[in-house]
Amino acid sequence: MPDFHKLPIKYRAKWDYGARSGPTKAVVFHMAEGTDVASYLVTERRAGVSVQYTIEQKTSRFGDGEIVRTLPERRISGSLAPDKIRRDNDPDGYYGAKHAKYALGDWWLNPNEAVISVEVAGRADDGPTPRQVESMIALFADIDRRYGRVIPLAHRDFANYKACPGRTPAIKLAFRTMGGHGKDFDQRPERRFMSTRGFIPGQVCDVQPGTGLHDTPGGKRIAVIEGDAPRALLGYAPPWDAHEWALISVTEVGGGNRTAWVRAGKIANVRPGAQPGDSTGNAKAAGWESALVRGVESLQALRTMGPGGAGL
């Protein structure tokens, strides 16, 4: 997974409101109603708007889905107007104050302190391109991995006078992949294991036959490993630095993949899984993309772990 927070800042947003004092609780997405967003924000002087990242569309300056870092994550961006925060919810509950409060708690009325904000180039009516959706998911997964747990939010959760970022199928797909939105958001407590800080797509490992499989780290033993096939290694449980419990993918007798926890001491030979096919740049990119898709699927699997187990 690339370290997006280490990208060079070639376009620094003009509006930097100082060091952020809040925790990082959410990522807020906008549709910018324009393109070349990062370069626009360098000289923006009308609205005081800034963000930490933009996700661009193809222009003479930027590539489709290109993630551009415009402010460090620990600076306060100006993407939400704190004096106009909505108190109501959309009739269908998809966007609204309830979800913002759930995500930010007491920071709800001072949101720019506790969020990382992202402007997605394009219009709310048209939605993001497929590559922009991939980039939204990759950037969210990267931030989620580094901060432990963040929740996806939208400008409209704070502003009922704006459609931003809209309700296109592409935007809804992006939010669904990140865990849902509004009343569809998955609030089951099992979600605490959704993100493992060591989460890296495309890793495999060996697990000793006879190793116990558990439904949660330290929880009920549900089965034992048979055979010596390599297993996908999805990550580790908190505390992040202890590496005590590892999450692996296993195939049940009779077919069907699921995830299960094993004592990390029982795994060995952690190595990259499917490697890119050859040395050409395109193959590398394609390999990275399929690793990303696998990673997103794994992330979803981690998110959908049910109360009694970890079924896919």
Alpha-carbon torsion (265, 267, 268, 270), positive or negative? negative
Report the nearest approach of Zn ion to the CB of residue 155 (Å).
Answer: 3
Q: How many residues form the binding site for Zn ion (CB under 5 A)?
A: 3
Nearer to Zn ion, 25 or 30 (CB): 30
Nearer to Zn ion, 158 or 193 (CB): 158
- Cα–Cα distance, 180 to 146 (Å, whole number): 20
Binding Zn ion (rule: CB under 5 A), the pick from 164, 213, 234, 262 is 164
Nearer to Zn ion, 97 or 299 (CB): 97
Stretch that binds Zn ion, among 4-12, 49-57, 63-71, 150-158 (CB under 5 A): 150-158
> Within 10 Å of residue 11's Cβ, how many Cβ atoms?
21
The residue written with tokens 């580790």 in the block is: 236
Q: Residues 95, 156: contact at Cβ < 8 Å?
A: yes
Window 254-293: residues binding Zn ion (CB under 5 A): none
Nearer to Zn ion, 28 or 262 (CB): 28
Report the nearest approach of Zn ion to the CB of residue 112 (Å).
Answer: 13
Assigned token pair, 101: 């409060």
Q: In what order do the strands lie in the sheet with 26-31?
A: 67-69, 53-55, 115-120, 26-31, 151-154
* 194: contact with Zn ion by CB under 5 A: no
Nearer to Zn ion, 100 or 247 (CB): 100
Residues 6+ apart with CB under 8 A from 58: 64
* 123: contact with Zn ion by CB under 5 A: no
- Cα–Cα distance, 129 to 121 (Å, whole number): 9
Report the nearest approach of Zn ion to the CB of residue 183 (Å).
Answer: 21
Q: Among candidates 189, 201, 171, which has minimal Cα distance to 290?
A: 201
Report the nearest approach of Zn ion to the CB of residue 166 (Å).
Answer: 10
* 30: contact with Zn ion by CB under 5 A: yes
Nearer to Zn ion, 123 or 145 (CB): 123
Report the nearest approach of Zn ion to the CB of residue 80 (Å).
Answer: 8
Per-position x/- string for 58-97, each x denoting binding to Zn ion as judged by CB under 5 A, each - no binding: ----------------------------------------
- Cα–Cα distance, 128 to 171 (Å, whole number): 7
Report the nearest approach of Zn ion to the CB of residue 180 (Å).
Answer: 20
Report the nearest approach of Zn ion to the CB of residue 156 (Å).
Answer: 8
What b/e sequence results for 75-86 when a residue is b if at least 16 CB atoms lie within 10 Å of its CB, and e otherwise? bbbbbbbeeebb
Binding Zn ion (rule: CB under 5 A), the pick from 69, 123, 155, 231 is 155
What is the phi/psi pair of residue 31, to 5°? -105, 135
Residues that bind Zn ion (CB under 5 A): 30, 155, 164
